Structure 1
């Protein structure tokens, strides 16, 4: 296979400029080379002699599959969307371009980006430099052949390591200030006129996005140890629930440096390493945690000036930072606009109308712990290279670079590990009691910004000032199992509850999510029947059981049977669909599942809806049952059922409609039916979809990279699927193939050994040498 291209002088200049930031550039970068072998579904197995060569192969392969996706994200993190697409268009995250640009210009300042780069290890820098060179090489080749339709324009350019740093910093703040972009960009003193970025419509969208954050970014994980596994070795189920589009879309790959690295799994865009995966001796995954990664500070303002605040009785000026955004005008010209953002010593001022108001008395600052986390890439690379569970755990304890997720792992010796070792502000329960208003609750931590004693505590043993040291965070090593589904650390294993932590770290005696309850129930049942197999873990996801149906369907059917009065005729089809429904979210599950979702969503907002209330002494089985002896519950149920009938009829759904007719994902003009459903209903295979005008629902997030890993004497034995497929380019042959496999509930072997790779029926290989770039050659193997 020979691919030819001719680099222009401009692209060569951009390539070498992008190999590193100017202050750290090497005068003559080493020439990189890599082997890219692809197997079934196009999964790339990238092999190189060093980090720069490995990064070179990763960047090239990623560009082959997702050139336009990364180009779009590069525009976003550089705050240039308004320049190319106009200020009133929206990002994939439904954020107005102008607010997005202001936020990222403030986040990714030259000082912050250069500081992050200087903190990186030589290996990480080489990975990033290689990635840049590889991506730019493919971009240059593609320009000669014609870029894909979705990324034709002057906004597509060669990238630099600065761009990759900005992408990484964007990922770091996803669990913190990244959720408050409008609130940062729109914060204005009470005497000032609000800018476009602060319009109330933007905040309404932001509030909706904030509510969806936990739904779009969740996960399930189970690690089974020697006491429960079929062969006495460890097993791992990784089931992250992430967006199916945009900058959080996983990419599947296998990375090898002989004698140093051999790891396979999935990574987020722009990262030259594995986030979730496995190597020769262990497998791991992450789940979005419930820990707090930022706190707000309520500032007492100087009565004479709302841009000054009082700290320990002393009036201090807020810091002002002028941000400039290039904005495309209606006539096509570009005009620079400026906006001032404010900050205190606790962080940027945020303003959210009706929630976090900036008036003449108070303002609010937000301090995000991950803004100072420059260790994240070194952390994942150390995890990738770990040759034992002990080394794996030790790296996380030492580096403390995991931003906002839990970690679960299993090894070939039959050990399992849970760690809630993310970056958490060091605020004890005692300090919280002294520095916050208990009426506000714990959903969002607001501390007293007028008292310096309310600043985060500093532990000299922590890897970063102001965060908890590793030994103060939850960790659990067991040989039976650990599991997690986005609850606190409390019930990771009920045999050994994790309690006594600061509320910012983990809260116990709180109701479990339904996915956690399902997992504990299923694991308990399987254990009673014997040991667990890989198929058992796979079925936990692919069975598509709706756990909440078992809790409430008897009540719903009884309600239908007891007589519905004047509504009986109207509700008869709904009740019939309830009776016929298999209580699952399979493609062939009936209309009853649609009605069940419609009914339960409003019903769960009703106070005292449960017949058996939550009992912290029995968290696995409570709450449960509908309190149909309470008139307000009965009234709410009847209204929800009537509304569901009306909605289903308006959508054109028929009694014979199946769930696979409703929930789909679109790509390249084709639709693929998708099983699974809302995690809030206890569907372990959590899939989030949004209504369309034609009565269908379009998948936007959920089960993404799914892997089941076991071990034997030959190493890891893994199966998996990337639910949305490898490529985001609709014209690619790798854009829908794994999606169709996921739709059919088919997991495939993940080739890991050299024998498995070369024996793959779709094996193809190429050698990529940077020294051949001038001639445009790629060598076939």
Structure 2
């Protein structure tokens, strides 16, 4: 055997051993906790013609067990990734992106928070999350070939609770704060998700409808795939839990929807619920000054497990904490972060109780728990009550500080420890106009103008958002244009509206594009002439729709984040160049340009960024916009006078969200693009 071959052989063996060793290292040190008690479960899972699971249990805990099993049947991959993040092992599956989430989990100490608060949850809630964990464990045990991460199972009820503690702050801006500080920049002054993660919610009271029916439209905008994608379910238990709606992977109950008596939609809100403090550090950054005393800066070494090809490599990092909360050290200094709901795990308790509320009074009493730190609730019920609640856990801050900026961290004057009561939040209940709505906009626009709240009625320390959206402007214009009763058809025309308002930021952007000096630039001039003829809708009927949608999408994230609009000329030039390169023309039919693609489905879909029929997309290699966010799970709930609740729903894909071989992988997509419904068998 040649000497060079021998050397190569043994080098290969060494590399292989290293690969196996590093992969095994991750599993060996995983050390999963002792499982919760295993109980016999009495549950039945029936699926309707669309594959939507209807889960029947003797107890509520039995139902939670069935939710876990049914969801795993449809989407075990995302469930596994959510659980891995809770255990600090997302990097072992997802590589660098997952490791970032693991780092945040260590930074905010999500697992310790869950452990500390677990005993304070009611026995019923603990039984619920433990049954859900048991269902995940049983599914994993029966399907070992689907497991990508060894040593992850069994999971426990504490893992389920920790998942809520980890993900909750990301819905009100933690991404943007951490991202800026990690890059050595100061955090933004305004909160909110980093992308167009929005929603619509509408409610019309029976007194304003044309048929004495109270109506609720649930229309949450989330990514169409991944750990916060909607999955539809219907649950029934002999203990009185009856609910139809949808949840995210890792939730042991529906997060929105309706029971027999009431229901709600959620929309992301963006109040200022995160405070950043500049610490005064000593020379070696081991202490910080607080009220004239030097206190030790808590420091802990962690190991991130990061997948790089076949390897799972251990990467050391340090996490720091002060009395305020998590701390990030960068070239600008030390910055502590404190957020609403810090240390609280009762979110699982509140959502569970909301599911079982039987009337408006009970529902409001549960909301007063204030365990859900942010998200608007648009509410309706069988008694005809409607409301828009700007739900937020507002810190009880002292006046006199710039709470949107970076605060001094060396004084207890800026360190809040309590919250404003729920009764102090902005809310509009049973307005005379008979309708309420929210589209991720400021709480002072929620119904007819003469009944809206006034910003001056709320202290600046609350940090109420001042965002407007095109969707807000459109629902104001459209509801205002209805004289007399609001019928079901009128309400649905509003929900599926594809128009842009000239009064919105989108309208301002289009005006800026049309004002670009295109002298000597024939392509830009042609684009402007085409846009000048546009009818301001993205319904696929006009020759300028694709160009207009592309122009709007070019600033989608800047608009949603509340950032300044960029110069229009480069953006217009970029859009024109892309359309000409892919299609050789600017007047591309929207049916050809914007598509829904999932499995074998490749369908035209209408709407656009920040329209009430919200369609967000990525550009595919063929130059087309392929929808991946926005309108997804939608539900229309109706309480007729002296009648039982009925509902209809639609999902952008189908019940089997990742099972390509399932007939329900994309069977709802044709209905979705036609804006049609399926009946919920409740």
How far, CA to CA, are the matches of 1:645 and 1:411 in structure 2?
49
Partner of 2:336: 365
- Describe the SS at the equivalent of 1:372: coil
Are 1:44 and 2:53 matched, yes or no?
yes
Question: Contact 1:488 / 1:506 at 8 angstroms: preserved in 2?
Answer: no
Partner of 2:223: 243
Question: Contact 2:172 / 2:191 at 8 angstroms: preserved in 1?
Answer: no
Are 1:422 and 2:392 matched, yes or no?
yes
1:240 shift after superposition: 0.9
- What are the equivalent positions in structure 2 for 1:203-222 lying under 5 Å apart? 213=193, 215-222=195-202
Are 1:323 and 2:316 matched, yes or no?
no
CA shift in 2, pair 1:450/1:484, >3 Å: same
1:706 shift after superposition: 0.8
Partner of 1:459: none
How far, CA to CA, are the matches of 1:170 and 1:603 in structure 2?
27
Question: Contact 2:108 / 2:325 at 8 angstroms: preserved in 1?
Answer: no
Question: Contact 1:238 / 1:707 at 8 angstroms: preserved in 2?
Answer: yes
- What are the equivalent positions in structure 2 for 1:229-378 lying under 5 Å apart? 229-258=209-238, 260-302=240-282, 304-327=283-306, 336-351=314-329, 357-359=330-332, 362-378=333-349
Residue deviations 1:302-360, cap 9 Å, x none?
3x333322212222221112212344577x56554432211211011125xxxxx544x
1:749 shift after superposition: 1.6
1:227 shift after superposition: 3.3
Partner of 1:391: 362
Question: Contact 1:177 / 1:368 at 8 angstroms: preserved in 2?
Answer: no
1:604 shift after superposition: 12
How far, CA to CA, are the matches of 1:591 and 1:512 in structure 2?
25
- Structure 2 unaligned regions, length at least 5: 1-30, 560-564
- Describe the SS at the equivalent of 2:70: helix
1:550 shift after superposition: 9.4
How far, CA to CA, are the matches of 1:411 and 1:297 in structure 2?
43
Partner of 2:20: none
Partner of 2:127: 126
1:649 shift after superposition: 1.1
- TM-score after normalising by structure 2: 0.84
Higher relative contact order, structure no. (Cα contacts within 8 Å, ≥ 6 residues apart): 1
Are 1:686 and 2:614 matched, yes or no?
yes
Question: Contact 2:206 / 2:212 at 8 angstroms: preserved in 1?
Answer: yes
Residue deviations 1:352-395, cap 9 Å, x none?
xxxxx544xx4210012223221111111111111111211121
CA shift in 2, pair 1:103/1:550, >3 Å: closer
How far, CA to CA, are the matches of 2:438 and 2:223 in structure 1?
19
CA shift in 2, pair 1:97/1:46, >3 Å: closer
Residue deviations 1:115-134, cap 9 Å, x none?
23222222222222222222
Which one of the candidate residues 658, 665, 676 is aligned to 2:607?
676
Question: Contact 2:199 / 2:267 at 8 angstroms: preserved in 1?
Answer: yes
Are 1:403 and 2:387 matched, yes or no?
no
Aligned Cα root-mean-square deviation (Å): 3.6
- What are the equivalent positions in structure 2 for 1:656-667 lying under 5 Å apart? 657-667=588-598
Question: Contact 2:192 / 2:269 at 8 angstroms: preserved in 1?
Answer: no
Partner of 2:28: none
- Describe the SS at the equivalent of 2:446: coil
Partner of 1:496: 451
Residue deviations 1:587-612, cap 9 Å, x none?
55544442454278569989xxxxxx
Which one of the candidate residues 144, 155, 159 is aligned to 1:159?
155
CA shift in 2, pair 1:166/1:553, >3 Å: closer
CA shift in 2, pair 1:312/1:735, >3 Å: same
CA shift in 2, pair 1:141/1:228, >3 Å: same
1:34 shift after superposition: 1.1
Partner of 1:723: 652
1:449 shift after superposition: 1.1
1:513 shift after superposition: 2.2
1:84 shift after superposition: 4.8
Residue deviations 1:184-227, cap 9 Å, x none?
9xx8xxxxxxxxxx6x5xx89x999x999354321111111233
Kindly tell me the number of residue pairs found equivalent between the two proteins: 639
Partner of 1:111: 112
1:553 shift after superposition: 7.9
Question: Contact 2:202 / 2:435 at 8 angstroms: preserved in 1?
Answer: yes
CA shift in 2, pair 1:695/1:334, >3 Å: closer
- Describe the SS at the equivalent of 1:171: helix
- Describe the SS at the equivalent of 1:169: helix
How far, CA to CA, are the matches of 2:517 and 2:410 in structure 1?
61
How far, CA to CA, are the matches of 2:179 and 2:545 in structure 1?
41
- Describe the SS at the equivalent of 1:166: helix
Question: Contact 1:242 / 1:701 at 8 angstroms: preserved in 2?
Answer: yes
Residue deviations 1:271-323, cap 9 Å, x none?
11121101111121111112222211121223x33332221222222111221
- Describe the SS at the equivalent of 1:676: coil
How far, CA to CA, are the matches of 2:552 and 2:235 in structure 1?
47
Residue deviations 1:64-104, cap 9 Å, x none?
1111111122222322234455xxx34xxxxx343332222
CA shift in 2, pair 1:447/1:655, >3 Å: closer
Partner of 1:621: none
Partner of 2:474: 518
Question: Contact 1:294 / 1:425 at 8 angstroms: preserved in 2?
Answer: no
CA shift in 2, pair 1:648/1:521, >3 Å: same
CA shift in 2, pair 1:181/1:41, >3 Å: farther
1:58 shift after superposition: 0.8
- Structure 1 unaligned regions, length at least 5: 1-16, 91-95, 188-197, 352-356, 437-441, 457-464, 607-632, 753-781
Partner of 1:472: 424
How far, CA to CA, are the matches of 2:530 and 2:598 in structure 1?
31
